[in-house]
Amino acid sequence: MTSDTGLDPVARFRLDGKVALVTGASSGLGERFARVLHAAGAKVAITARRKERLERLAGDLDGALAITCDLARTEELERPVAETVGAFGRIDVLVNNAGVSYTGPAEDEPLATFQTVVSVNLVAPFVLAQHAARDIIGREDSGSVVNVASMLGLVGLGRIPQASYAASKGGLVNLTRELASQWARKGVRVNAIAPGWFESEMTNELFEDEGGRKFIRRGAPLGRPGREDELDGALLYLASDASSYVTGQVLPVDGGWTAV
């Protein structure tokens, strides 16, 4: 593990020589996360279903590896970590960002839909973390898993009914704590970011509606949604040695939504 206690705090946020895998990287927050990690010095592997978008992003990031993969298919879950390690020889940072949602009354949600959402949002992060940990455990240095949960894993919402999404993100929050507890002395830190309202493909409908925008402004004490760059600091903190004494924690980045 890094033991440098010098007085250059910015250096501890760097990821030079590290290898990072980001899921759901073909658009939105995942694309941003890949760019931020690359800018911080990491070698980046990116995975998502949409091949053309993924390869376009990889072309922007020198040395990046694009892995087309559908995380809803359990038989594909081993590939992202295996191909990352195969290409770069190791994995140091896993960002479990990929996610799907369903909006509708719980009494009407099809069981198959509920199962798909839980599979992508909870089962896939577990399997990916499991495979990443197997590569990290036993090495002299440490690694970091950053799960992208949601404030809806911490509180209910109701007005925008998303039972499967809330359940999967709540599960991811406590999976974060459990994996952190199990792997703390094995060189693997596990933490989570819990974003509030950020504009993405998943939230487009809400942001395009004036009533939705008013809902966000009323509910967030800061009175606005988040900007994509406002997750950069949380990501780099949890991915890097800047958080070397932090594990099992969930960091809300939600404009104060969960504080009131």
Q: Which two tokens stand for residue 228?
A: 């994509």
- Full domain range(s) for residue 199: 13-253
* Mean pLDDT score, 161-172: 98
Domain-located, residue 260 = no
Residues 6+ apart with CB under 8 A from 88: 19, 43, 45, 65
- Give the per-residue pLDDT at 1: 42
Domains held by the chain: number: 1
**In percent, how much of the chain has pLDDT > 70?**
98
Domain-located, residue 259 = no
Domain-located, residue 4 = no
Sheet order of strands, 188-195 included: 65-68, 43-48, 19-23, 93-96, 143-148, 188-195, 250-253
Domain-located, residue 41 = yes
Domain-located, residue 104 = yes
Residues 6+ apart with CB under 8 A from 110: none
Arithmetic mean of pLDDT over the chain:
96
Asked whether the predicted pLDDT for residue 58 surpasses 90, the reply is: yes
- Report pLDDT digits (tens) over 92-127: 999 999 999 999 999 999 999 999 999 999 999 999
Asked whether the predicted pLDDT for residue 4 surpasses 60, the reply is: no
Domain-located, residue 258 = no
Locus of tokens 């929050």? 173
Could you please report the per-residue DSSP string of 56-68? HHHHHSTT-EEEE
Asked whether the predicted pLDDT for residue 5 surpasses 90, the reply is: no
Is 237 catalytic? The answer is no
Residues 6+ apart with CB under 8 A from 44: 19, 20, 21, 22, 34, 37, 38, 61, 63, 64, 65
Asked whether the predicted pLDDT for residue 44 surpasses 70, the reply is: yes
Domain-located, residue 7 = no
Asked whether the predicted pLDDT for residue 151 surpasses 80, the reply is: yes
CATH number assigned to the domain comprising residue 138:
3.40.50.720
pTM for the structure as a whole: 0.96
**In percent, how much of the chain has pLDDT > 90?**
93
Domain-located, residue 3 = no
Cα separation values, 243 from 24, 26, 132, Å: 24, 27, 19
